[in-house]
Structure 1
Amino acid sequence: MKLKNKLALTGAATMAALFLGLNANAARMDMVDVSNNNGYMSTAEYTSMRNEFGVKAVTVKISEGGTYKDPYAASNIANVQAAGMYINGYHFARYATKAQAIVEADFAGKTAKTAGLPVGAVLATDVEAEEQNNQSQATNDRNNAAFMKEIKKFGYRADIYTSGSWANNKMTIKGKTGWIAAYPYVVSGKNWYSTNHAWQWSSTAKFRISYGGFDVSQLNSNYYTADQKSTVKPTNKDAVKANNRKANRNIYHLAASAKWVKETKTYTLKTAVKLRTGASTSSNTITILPAGTTVKTDHAIIQGGYRWVRQPRFNGYGYLATGPSDNTLEYVKASASHTYYTIKSGDSWWTIAQRNGLNMTTLASQNGKTIYTTIYPGQRLVVQ
């Protein structure tokens, strides 16, 4: 899952340092989520995560929409269980209506059963797609409730994964529910989302024998570790502490390194977007730009979990988010001409690279990503 959210305020470096100074334990790596984008994950890799990093639970991608089944779900489930950890699953939601939510829940439940997800595990709905962005909060609440009610018929426990910026904005996330993604480009020294089940705080965590960056979460309740048997605990407590501190330092580095780059572009908005006084979801709204508006921008930055662009105005500047942080800066000149490919359900780095005569690493690199970055249908990639 790569949402990856969140919240942006000013003084990121100062606040990040405050976080590390006040919270001696820092954020914990209690849970990892994986999908086909991580490739095949062995039992040895999961055992290392448990023993050296303190990972308690793994949540694996099961399905997406009404047709896509993650090809690594079954092996991930089996290998996590062999490592003695708790196992859960998630479904990437594409539903926009109650009827579609029920259909997707039935598909996800059947797919999870076939893949071996045990009864009692959590099967969360991952709600972050354009389909939900175009709905009202009331509609998303209705659809999410329908999905979760249906998923329980398969013996699974339900939950919602979404970003901090969508929680109680695009959908209602009550206390003692929810798995919230909010990357600490700015943090407060407090445990974020302490009243929710889990807080996903990084998408770039590194593990010793596993290649690439991973999504990691801190568990604030036992919801993702309940109703299943965990047979083994970490064997190297000193390594767990050291590795968690290192992971938090890496987040601090990312927070401090964000910078504006020149980018002259013209956007035509597909949906209404708030134009703000600063590059932050907490900044005041200047106006709401309706769908179809043409916006000319001169700079861009990734911070607070979003990709922001700056619009010159007669009396200063306006700022708007063009997407989540995985909508990476392209660093291209205005005169450059590129061919883009829009990702479809079932695509992978390998299939897109093969279709366009490219090496996977080259394709990922020219889009500012790695082959282990999760990609989603609807995103665009530069292919030449």
Structure 2
Amino acid sequence: MNKYKLKAPILTAGAIFMAFLMVNVTSNAARMDMVDVSNNNGYMSTAEYVSMRNEFGVKAVTVKISEGGTYKDPYAASNIANVQAAGLYINGYHFARYATKAQAIAEADFAGQTAKAAGLPVGAVLATDVEAEEQNNQSKATNDANNKAFMQEIEKFGYRTDIYTSGSWANNKMTVKSKTGWIAAYPYVVSGKNWYSNNHAWQWSPTAKFRISYGGFDVSQLNDNYYTAGQKSTVKPTNKGAVKVNNKKANKHAYKKSASSKWIKETKTYTLNTAVKLHTSTSTSSNTITILPAGTTVKTDQAIIQGGYRWVRQPRFNGYGYLATGPASNTLEYVKSGATHTYYTVKSGDSWWTIAQRNGLSMTTLASQNGKSIYTTIYPGQRLVVR
């Protein structure tokens, strides 16, 4: 999560200088207990979820329900139905845009109503995904008050609640108490070490691959039964040998897949919230061209995941400068809709070619920045990132 997401490229000291621990790979692989999906993953069939369960040991799926006060994920209902048909536990999340208590309550009412309409069962978790610029601009106390208001309102719909955020934001931008929380942190090397064993769940990769599903997925290890309805899981993989092999493979390649991203077009203007080093290349050990002070406006043309960080490129009069917008959790190809992007809603008769031509892109670029290929079927109502 596009929990990112994290997914939103916000230039904060906490995000830019988040430490990536170097640990040795052990025989104990981080587990793929839970997967979260959104509109960016497109339509997901029951067969895909059965494959996740049987071959990878997935127990639960958390689907995007809504965002802000108006956006409803068009795939929420089908995801919920197909996850349940596959015999997996089902939960949901709402991408938060609130900055005040009143907005938090309004978004909770919208999320709760949308979840009910999509078929999310009573008793499931409906988490608040807190990682956007709106929360970055608030104090910790304000975020805490807003999160509390949101979760109290959600409980009125019969759902349980939780907070999803990045490791760099937890107990920095907001309070995430022990025995609560779903924390995203993508280590340089995944190992048997559980970074967030005191929280409900640890999301350890945004790029996991499943055999019959296209693209990368956010995967999490569950530390208790909170996301499986407080019950002992009855989900039994049919191929335990495959589960063991696939989990180890996911651990081994989780960071490598993220790090091997290609440059993508990203024409944006950033205003720095803190002083940032402008480097000669996409490496924190490369030479520093200059230190850009807080308040500096930076125009960029491309972005890439490299060396554990998300980098953007700044055209300069004599070449380029490179600066980190945060950890590699700010993904590119599989970015969640919480990031600052321009979207296009697919209409009947549209194709990759017509949409790409309309937005000045190649079909390949359009497809890749949405985590898909030009051979992936698109559907009316689907939202695609075009900028």
TM over 0.5: yes
2:83 aligned partner, one-letter code: V
Aligned to 2:120: 117
- Identify which of 241, 244, 249 aligns with 2:247: 244
Which region of structure 1 is more displaced relative to structure 2, 167-176 or 151-160?
A: 167-176
| Superposed displacement of residue 292, structure 1 | 3.9
Q: Which residue of 2 is the match for residue 94 of structure 1?
A: 97
Contact 1:86 1:229 in 2 (8 A): no
1:33 is aligned, of 36, 40, 58, to 36
Which residues of 2 match residues 165-314 of structure 1 at below 5 A? 165-186=168-189, 190-227=193-230, 232-254=235-257, 269-275=270-276, 289-292=293-296, 302-307=306-311
SS in 1 for 2:177: coil
- The answer (yes or no) to whether the contact 1:121–1:227 under 8 Å persists in 2 is no
Structure 1 Cα separation of the partners of residues 103 and 255 of structure 2: 40
TM (norm. structure 1) is 0.76
- Tell me, which stretches of 5 or more residues in structure 2 are unaligned? 7-14, 285-289, 334-339, 377-383
Q: TM-score, normalised by structure 2?
A: 0.75
1:44 aligns with 2:47: yes
Alignment of 1:333-348 (within 5 A): 342-344=341-343
Distance in 2 separating the partners of 1:235 and 1:189? 24
Aligned AA (1:174) = K
Q: Which residue of 1 aligns with 2:163?
A: 160
Q: How high is the sequence identity, in percent, across the aligned residues?
A: 70
Structure 2 CA distance for aligned equivalents of residues 142 and 98 of structure 1: 7
Rounded to whole Å, the distance in 2 between the matches of 1:296 and 1:81 is 43
For the 8 Å contact 1:273–1:320, the answer to whether it is kept is: no
Structure 1: any 5+ residue segments left out of the alignment?
A: 281-285, 313-317, 330-340, 373-378
Rounded to whole Å, the distance in 1 between the matches of 2:312 and 2:190 is 19
Amino acid at match of 1:289: P
**Shift of residue 133 of structure 1?**
1.3
Q: Is the 8 A contact 1:276 1:320 kept in 2?
A: yes
Aligned to 2:248, the other structure's residue is in SS state helix
Which of 54, 58, 62 aligns to 1:55? It is 58
The within-5 A match list for 1:127-166 is: 127-166=130-169
Q: Say how many residue pairs are matched.
A: 344
After superposition, the Cα gap between the structure-2 partners of 1:271 and 1:257, relative to the gap in structure 1 and judged at 3 Å, is: closer
Q: Structure 1 residues 174, 268: CA separation in 2 closer, same or farther (over 3 Å shift)?
A: same
Give CA-to-partner distance per residue, 1:243-285, whole Å, 9 cap, x none.
00010111253477699x9xxx9996424124369977xxxxx
The 1:171–1:302 alpha-carbon spacing in structure 2 relative to 1, beyond 3 Å, is farther
Shift of 1:228: 6.5
Aligned residues of 1:300 and 1:310 also touching (Cα < 8 A): no
- Whole-angstrom distance in 2 between the partners of 1:30 and 1:231: 13
Shift of 1:220: 1.0
Deviations 1:352-374 (A, max 9, x none): 64742656533244x595469xx
In structure 2, what residue type is equivalent to 1:149? Answer: Q
